[in-house]
Structure 1
Amino acid sequence: MTVDQISSVADRQGPAPSAGPARTTDRPRTSFTARRHRAFYMFTSPWIIGFLLLAIVPMAYALWLSFTTFDGISPNWRYVGLGNYRELFSDSVTWESLGRAGLFAVTSVPLSIIAGLGLAVLVNRPLKARGLFRTLLYLPAVVPPVGAGIAFKTLFDQNSGAANGVLTLFGFEALGWMADPYVRYVLLMTVLWAAGNVMIISLAGLQDVPRELHEAARIDGASAWRTFRSITVPLLSPVLLFQTVTGVIASVQTIMPLLLAPLGTTGGVTTVPQSNYLYMMHVFAQYFALGRYGYASALLWVLFVLILIATGLIFKFTSGVVFYNVDPEAKK
């Protein structure tokens, strides 16, 4: 077939169909994606606005305050740059209170996790009135911290508290629970008393453990402790990691000592039991007892950085022992 014949055939058939209409098929998809994006931002906008106004803006304001001598009232303040931070790193009281907060975290977090996990294992068994036991054990966790602090302060009062009443009933001497060194034990008891929150999270993790693994271990002759240590705990490791991180963050920010012992000032020095003078107690004293808003803001920003470092270290050192039960197909 010659070139002229091919051209004549092409002319008779007319122009090739245009590919334009095929592009229109992408328009509905693009429009649907845009609507989904708009719906997402519309529904999340209350949280985003609240986060900006109630978290980012206050944090930025506190950061600005940390470079000033503002006292919250007087307009006569000045910019001091890193002066507050230099004073902070040279203040022995700050480091002592930080050390007590760290010791409290190292002590209270493992105890609360162990207590909560033990209660979860107990109420996960097929017992009668199991729902009632779960409710009763969880109730202390929903009690407001102020009410819990007042209750423990009344319970361990040296003169009229029930704790000393029991001691004197058995012939022991009444103790000053709200003074050193016993007040630290009262603080630990308040943490363990509210272990119901840890119990609920651990219980949810226990119910997610496949029963087939326990049955296979039982058939192989493994003891209950061996099954718990080799199967249950590894499968609960993500839950335990979550509780460790949140527990450390909550423990170093505790303000419960204010409710266990009276707060006062004598000659500009905060008078509380030394064992209860934790880091957040020091921040509270700088803010409200001494009116040093700039210095207290610097204390809070240092605590924020230390919490970030502690969280990063926890994730780093637990990366090899945390087991995530993920379907291999889900990773693809």
Structure 2
Amino acid sequence: MRTRRAWAFYVFLGPWTLGFLALTAFPLGYALWLSFTNSDGLSPNSRFVGLDNYRELFSDPETIQSLVRTGVFTAITVPLTIVAGLFLAVLVNQPIRARGLFRTLLYLPAVVPPVGAALTFKLIFDRDSGAANGLLDAFDTNGVTWLADPYARWVLITLTMWGVGNVMIISLAGLQDIPKELHEAARVDGASPWQSFTRITLPLLSPVLFFQVVTGIIAALQTFAPLLISLDPTPKGVSAVPESNYLFMINVFAQYFANGRYGYASALLWVLFAIIVFVTFLVFRLSKGVVFYSVEPESAKNKPRTIGGK
């Protein structure tokens, strides 16, 4: 029986293991090797160049600028998305009629695939036939070239906010997990709704918000949708992406498919991976004393309690 259970374990684990090795471990290792070569993806005569790609990366102004734009984009969209999602969650958590309908309508945009949403936004904000300029024409206002600077960045931010329903659902689940007795006790003690929200709701919701901050930062640093709302989403049309939307992943795409520099592009991806790991670690470190868990961690339980600091 023990042998049969062991075989059953390996049989069920086998497909995942093979998929991980073939689709994750091998591509990662191969990309790491490419980052130390001058491979163009076509010629078999690539050679080992050591750390040359990484040295060029830190001295390439285009790469540095794209990284800075990505950082600014992340700093804008992550707080906006979390605050908007929490605001909507608080609204649809109220005892109102058709509450389920409002929740569904607000969550529906998050179900739309990112590619479909990006292409839809491209049609809406088209200079000649888009609905946005059609609305402006109704008010006798000249049309705007939305997909070019300086408006392209705001179209991208709007596209990112389009999927705020995901954040709303997670925040709503966190709100419903807070015991109502705490708010009732605060109301009896004379606390205002704002005091109840800041002293009870936010601290108890901090683990959920922390999760959204971490996942939001990781997703924002890998944003690739701007290419889809550019004027010409093809390898040759990378230069058509507005400068404000020329983010780090767009630069990676350009190096891979427009410039054929597989080695340099692989180095870019590994640097991005290192940045994501570092930022995530930094967020975890800064979260101490800010995130409050309803269940005390085991490490804290095992520590001896002291009285009077002794």
Scaled by the length of structure 1, what TM-score is found? 0.85
Structure of higher CA gyration radius? 1
What is the CA deviation profile of residues 223-280 of structure 1, one whole-angstrom value per residue up to 9, with x for unaligned ones? Answer: 11111111111111111111001101101101100111124678x9833210110000
- Pick aligned residue for 1:186 from 151, 155, 164: 155
Give the stretch that moved more between structures: 109-118 or 122-131: 122-131
Quick one: which of 54, 68, 89 aligns to 1:99?
68
Q: Distance in 2 between matches of 1:302 and 1:76?
A: 25
Deviation larger for 277-286 or 71-80: 71-80
Q: Note if contact 2:214-2:283 (Cα within 8 Å) is conserved in structure 1.
A: yes
Of residues 181-190 and 49-58 in structure 1, the stretch that sits farther from structure 2 once superposed is 49-58
Q: Do structure 1's residue 274 and structure 2's residue 243 form an aligned pair?
A: yes
Give the one of 143, 163, 175 matched to 2:112: 143
Query: What is the alpha-carbon root mean square deviation over aligned residues?
Result: 2.2
Is 2:28 aligned against 1:59?
yes
For 2:137 and 2:204, locate their aligned partners in 1 and report how far apart those are by CA, in whole Å: 47
Instruction: Report if the CA contact (8 A) 1:270-1:289 is conserved.
Output: no
The question of 1:110 aligning with 2:76 is answered no
Paired with 1:41 and 1:232, the residues of 2 have a C-alpha distance of 45
Judge which range, 319-328 or 228-237, deviates more.
319-328
- Map Cα deviations across residues 115-153 of structure 1 (whole Å, 9 max, x no partner): 111111111112222222111111111111111011101
Q: What is the CA-CA distance between 1:53 and the residue it aligns to? A: 2.1
Q: Distance in 2 between matches of 1:181 and 1:173?
A: 16
Deviation at 1:39, TM superposition (A): 5.7
Matched, 1:306 2:275: yes
Do 1:157 and 1:176's aligned partners in 2 also have CA atoms closer than 8 Å?
Answer: yes
Correspondence for 2:294: 325
Contact 2:36 2:48 in 1 (8 A): yes
Determine if contact 2:227/2:238 at 8 Å carries over to the other structure. Answer: no
Instruction: Please say which of residues 130-139 and 86-95 is displaced more in the overlay.
Output: 130-139
Counterpart in the other structure of 1:258: 227
CA deviation after TM superposition for structure 1 residue 184, in Å: 0.4
Q: Which residue of 2 aligns with 1:239?
A: 208
Aligned to 1:215: 184
Asked whether the 8 Å contact 1:255–1:281 carries over to 2, the reply is yes
3-state SS of paired residue (1:314): helix
Q: Does 1:77 align with 2:46?
A: yes
Taking a change above 3 Å as real, the CA distance of residues 306 and 328 of structure 1, as seen in their structure-2 partners, is: closer
Residue 270 of structure 1 aligns to a residue whose secondary structure is: helix
Length, aligned pairs only: 300
Asked if 1 retains the 8 angstrom alpha-carbon contact of 2:235 and 2:254, the reply is: no
In structure 2, stretches of 5+ residues that fail to align are 303-310
Distance in 1 separating the partners of 2:115 and 2:213:
24
Secondary structure in 2 matching 1:158: coil
Displacement, 1:38?
6.4
Cα gap change, 1:150 to 1:269, in 2 (>3 Å): closer
Does the residue aligned with 1:326 lie in a helix, a strand or coil? coil
| Counterpart Cα distance in 2 of 1:104 and 1:126 | 36
Residue 172 of structure 1 deviates from its aligned partner by: 2.3
- Give structure 1 regions of 4+ aligned residues with deviation exceeding 6 angstroms: 34-38
Contact 2:235-2:257 within 8 A present in 1 as well: no
Q: State the one-letter code of the partner of 1:183.
A: A
Describe the shift of the 1:331–1:66 C-alpha distance in structure 2 as closer, same or farther (beyond 3 A). Answer: same
Name stretches of at least 5 consecutive residues in structure 1 with no aligned partner.
1-30
- Confirm or deny that 1:198 pairs with 2:167: yes
Cα distance between partner residues in 2 of 1:234 and 1:68: 49
Tell me the distance in 1 between the aligned counterparts of 2:15 and 2:184: 48
Structure 2-normalised TM-score? 0.91
